[in-house]
Structure 1
């Protein structure tokens, strides 16, 4: 889809659902949400937080509820957008006859209320613990300078070094790898830094 620069242009590009999108837009704009354009689509926010959005496709159009998982959905109008989306829900339509204006407004108002209450799914932190191989642990215990340098590395870089030692099959290889990475750790660089800057 080509980049659009206004909600009007978005509706024009999706003119096969132009009337329907205009109706949904007017329902949403009757609330306190502010209209913006994000990801080349209309998004409606409350104090900078995305609450709902409009979307049009070839055979359907709809409203996205960014934290729709918290809606009561008494009329059973919501669908999970994708299996991996935890919070996002959509109200999907194929034509003007599908739109129940009162229901749409009620759902949008409930979404606004939920936003005011701070109901949202927080993204999970991916802070995996570094699984330290015995050889690396031993080297760090014997050398306090190396240990301090290792602690200064990001958890990601620490993990890279730990896995590098762990994946060696033979003790001799583990020792060789340990000797190779020691000066790198002391310099404060990651194992794969030289590849990341390419």
Structure 2
């Protein structure tokens, strides 16, 4: 629920508790609200929506704060300011900041990105996501799937999102012994029909 100024009391409280990036958050908030978006608190962060659809989120990290565009991969980026957090992120893109002056200097570009994000949402555009079958299956996991038919059946029964989470978790380790250890630790979860983060 927002007040007459368009601000949400839950976001007010979150911003008061913020240990860092307070001034930057305040500037980014003002820009998002100036674009006619509705302010909500989602995932513990200020989130700005248009007709119920998530458009942009403000979040902070140790090294920077950022605007995260949920469908950023579909936005025009003539200045090359949108950043993909990791190679596994398919849709979202960030614009990162380390000082208020950067936000002030990019105000017009930020408003243009938000307007573009709203247009993408209104048009009903979606990001073509990689299918689970396109994700590499680490050989350590392939070996265990071949050895344990019950594991193969249980893995195949998981939702595609849970399957991808496991594949990314296993494949994220550089060393074979670490990948093997991750696989072994997760076998009971998979057999129980649970996702990596369901514990």
Q: TM-score of the superposition, structure 2-length normalised?
A: 0.59
State the shift of 1:196 in Å: 3.5
Does residue 107 of structure 2 align to residue 101 of structure 1? yes
Does residue 127 of structure 2 align to residue 121 of structure 1? yes
Out of 47, 58, 61, the residue aligned to residue 62 of structure 2 is 58
State the shift of 1:58 in Å: 2.0
* 1:62 counterpart SS class: strand
Q: How does 1:40-189 map to 2 (within 5 A)?
A: 40-99=44-103, 100-121=106-127
* 2:32 counterpart SS class: helix
Structure 2 residue runs of 5 or longer lacking an equivalent are: 1-8, 134-152, 158-187, 194-199
- 1:14–1:56 Cα contact (<8 Å) kept: no
Would the alpha carbon gap of residues 26 and 16 (structure 1) be closer, same or farther in structure 2, given more than 3 Å must change?
same
State the shift of 1:123 in Å: 5.5
Would the alpha carbon gap of residues 6 and 80 (structure 1) be closer, same or farther in structure 2, given more than 3 Å must change?
same
Structure 1 residue runs of 5 or longer lacking an equivalent are: 128-155, 161-191
Measured in 2, the distance between the counterparts of 1:66 and 1:17 equals 21
Equivalenced residues, count: 135
RMSD: 3.0
Q: TM-score of the superposition, structure 1-length normalised?
A: 0.59
State the shift of 1:126 in Å: 5.5
